[in-house]
Amino acid sequence: MIQVMIIEDEPPIGRGLKSMIESTHDSFEVVAMAYNGQEALDLLKKIQPDMIITDIRMPIMDGIELAREVRKRFPDIQIILLSGYQEFDYAREAMQLGIMHYLLKPLSKMQLKTMLDDLYTEMVQRKRNRYKQAAASLIKGERRADDPFEEEGLYAAHMLMLCCAGSMPIFTYNDDIPGKAFWERYDLQKTAEGEAAGGFGDLTVLNGNSVSERWICLSLYKNQAELRSPDEWAKTVADWLGGDLPISIAYSPYYSDIRQTAIFSQSMRSTLYRNMIFGVSTRISIQDDAVRSEFPLNSNPFLERKLSLTVGPQYVELFKTEVMKIVDSWRQAPPRQIYVKHSLTRILEGLLQTLHIDHLCMSAVPDYVQYIIAHASDYESLSQNVCSTIDTFFSMRIADLDDEETNVDIVQKIEEYLNEHFAEPIDHQKLSNQFGLVPSYLSKIFSKSKGLSPAKYIVQLRVDTAKELLVEHQDMLAKDVAFVVGYSDPNYFSRIFKRETGLYPSEFREKNGVKVR
């Protein structure tokens, strides 16, 4: 309910306006009335409504002076001016104070309804934005000493959910893994806002740590006869998201203090990662996490012996067949993602050891495994990714890559590739696929030759190019410069630019004599 204070020096007009407001829009309630600006300021010390409607010409303190004081003391209160005068000076002063709504006497019900509808839309959106900002801060762990929502006493309870589409990547991938593609197709915030319009509470959706994840912060109003259980809410969200991709959801119990969001957010991602089932939609209460049994990590000597007998260039298909039998057994009885990760790591490490591939490759196995899992949407694509990696390992030549002439040639090709493609999404795995080297070895020889890693080299290229664009193309916005050099997020680009140059893009332009737009 949006609370309103009316300030009008003619009581009949004030009472008539109160009746019109409450009969015109059921989301507005008149909670106080005053007869001049000074009386209104005294009342505002006891009650702060969402909006005030004030006459302009009144004794003691007029509406314009009241608006100035309210702006100073209570900047969040919406102000509407009411007057029978249409003088330009009043309108000009009102605009200077940021007052955008103006009612003229005699007031019609249609005029009032139009204004109330507009105000309702504005205030609901402002409230949602404010709620979203508070939720985002709390999820990041930024606990606040006081929170405006708690002061309002609006909510009966809060809960937090973390949704992951597909598998959960531990590393950040720039390419289109299934989870990223899913969230690009599905607007969860739009669905959430449609549901929230039903009056149960406030619900906001925020990006998670990886492109596959979304946070949902839900706060339920006190005016409900009965609250759904947290598990029912998790099921409702799962139903919203449909069945295109397995959806795993970790959720908290209800809590009364919204600041506890910061506490639950710290453990929820690890809870989801430890317990999510690969290829199967899962709902996990963080209260159940402590009692769940751990996955088996013991090695299987029989399996490892069997796999070792199939290793060798002539046995590549046989080795893949045996590994696919393991993946097929997972399809029949789906294990947790973390078990899949450990099992594939053990299998691929054993393969490298048996093939006698340079020990540098061993440290790259976790990268390969994470890539396999993050890019798999089901067991079929998991099988394909595993087979592709096995083929890569079998095709690696056991050669002395430390030969200086060979390394110089490789580094030169890598450098040429980065100079040409630096504005595109590039990660270690992409470079590995491009040049047929494991990521750790590729990074080692490049760093040894250039004195910096490929990732750092890309940043340097992007920043140097951005410097040129910022100075030579003065009409180009900083966000457009960011996009051209390879950053989709202008804020992230600004932070990188500041870290590398000591200046933000606008400061860099000013220093180089460019007028900032």
Q: What is the pLDDT of residues 195-242, one digit of tens each?
A: 654 567 778 888 888 889 999 988 887 767 678 899 999 998 998 887
> Edge-to-edge, what's the strand order for the sheet holding 201-207?
201-207, 213-221, 155-165, 247-251, 282-285
**What pLDDT shows up at residue 459?**
92
What are the φ/ψ torsions at residue 144 (nearest 5 degrees)?
-110, 140
Is the model's pLDDT at 455 over the cut of 50? yes
Q: Is the previous residue joined to 11 through a cis bond, with omega within 30 degrees of 0? A: no
Angle (CA) 310 314 319, round 5°:
30
The answer as to CATH 3.40.640.10 being correct for domain 2-107 is no
C-alpha distance from residue 170 to each of 360, 466, 516 (Å): 21, 30, 40
Which of 241-255, 287-301, 386-400 has the highest average model confidence (pLDDT)?
Answer: 241-255
Give the range among 270-284, 344-358, 380-394 with minimum mean pLDDT.
Answer: 344-358
The residue among 244 and 250 whose pLDDT is bigger is: 250
Q: Which of 175, 119, 85, 178 is nearest to 373 (CA)?
A: 178
* 3-class secondary-structure state, position 328: helix
Query: What pLDDT, in 10s, does the model give residues 321-337?
Result: 888 989 999 999 999 99
> Edge-to-edge, what's the strand order for the sheet holding 2-7?
28-34, 2-7, 51-55, 78-83, 101-104
Per-residue pLDDT band for 340 (boundaries 50, 70, 90) equals very high
**What pLDDT shows up at residue 219?**
85
**What pLDDT shows up at residue 107?**
76
Q: Which of 218, 355, 362, 341 is nearest to 274 (CA)?
A: 341
Is the model's pLDDT at 22 over the cut of 80? yes
Prediction pTM value: 0.62
Two domains, one topology: 2-107 and 401-517: no
Per-residue pLDDT band for 389 (boundaries 50, 70, 90) equals confident
Is the model's pLDDT at 97 over the cut of 90? no
Mean pLDDT of 1-21: 88
Query: What pLDDT, in 10s, does the model give residues 105-162?
Result: 777 888 888 888 888 888 877 776 777 777 778 887 765 544 555 445 567 889 999 9
**Mean per-residue pLDDT of the chain:** 81
- Look at the domain 401-517 and name its fold: Arc Repressor Mutant, subunit A (1.10.10)
**What pLDDT shows up at residue 94?**
61
- Cβ(236)–Cβ(270) under 8 Å? no
Per-residue pLDDT band for 285 (boundaries 50, 70, 90) equals very high
* 3-class secondary-structure state, position 99: coil
Domains of the chain by residue range = 2-107, 139-288, 301-395, 401-517
**What pLDDT shows up at residue 215?**
92
- Cβ(290)–Cβ(274) under 8 Å? no
Mean pLDDT of 431-458: 81
Is the model's pLDDT at 291 over the cut of 60? no
Per-residue pLDDT band for 485 (boundaries 50, 70, 90) equals very high
* 3-class secondary-structure state, position 173: coil
The answer as to CATH 3.30.70 being correct for domain 139-288 is yes
H helix count then E strand count, the chain: 22, 10
The residue among 398 and 98 whose pLDDT is bigger is: 98
Per-residue pLDDT band for 88 (boundaries 50, 70, 90) equals very low
